[in-house]
């Protein structure tokens, strides 16, 4: 199986906004949904996992439902930094049954222009 692990654990303080940048809207859609949509549409991605900033999990799930992101399977807690968030995601996938033969593509939530 092939999984996209999207890292969305950052608070985006440097943006100076009230919400994390991954949840800011661009073209009437949160940035993270633009990113997730690229993997939703890709035929070789079987599932999506998101490492999410604490307290935003319900918002993420609601947006995924609203925008028909059906490949979202798991949401894992973010870490204190990007490296810890990636660690949480990889070990979260392992706990969910992902094996050594599975491929995991790691991508940043605020970089939606992925092909």
Q: 55 by DSSP, 3-state: which?
A: coil
pLDDT score recorded for residue 38? 97
Tokens of 57: 């999990």
The radius of gyration of the chain's CA atoms, rounded to the nearest angstrom, is 13
Domain enclosing residue 74, as ranges:
2-108
pLDDT score recorded for residue 12? 61
Instruction: Identify whether 113 is part of a domain.
Output: no
Instruction: Identify whether 115 is part of a domain.
Output: no
**CATH number of the domain that residue 94 is part of:** 3.90.550.10
Judge contact between 98 and 104, C-beta under 8 A.
yes
pLDDT in tens, 14-32: 656 678 889 999 999 999 9
pLDDT in tens, 102-114: 999 999 999 999 9
Instruction: Identify whether 103 is part of a domain.
Output: yes
For the entire predicted model, the pTM comes to 0.91
| Spans of the chain below 50 pLDDT | none
Tell me the C-alpha distance between 18 and 52, whole Å. Answer: 17
Give me the number of domains the chain comprises.
1
């Amino acid at each position: 199986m092939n999984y996209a692990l999207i890292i969305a654990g950052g608070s985006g303080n440097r943006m100076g906004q009230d919400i994390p940048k991954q949840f800011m809207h661009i073209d009437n859609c949160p940035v993270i949904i633009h990113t997730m949509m690229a993997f939703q549409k890709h035929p070789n991605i079987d599932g999506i996992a998101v490492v999410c900033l604490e307290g935003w999990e319900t918002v993420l799930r609601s947006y995924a439902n609203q925008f028909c992101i059906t490949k979202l399977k798991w949401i894992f807690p973010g870490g204190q930094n990007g490296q810890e968030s990636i660690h949480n995601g990889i070990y979260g996938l392992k706990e969910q049954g992902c094996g050594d033969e599975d491929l995991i593509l790691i991508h940043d939530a605020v970089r939606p222009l992925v092909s």
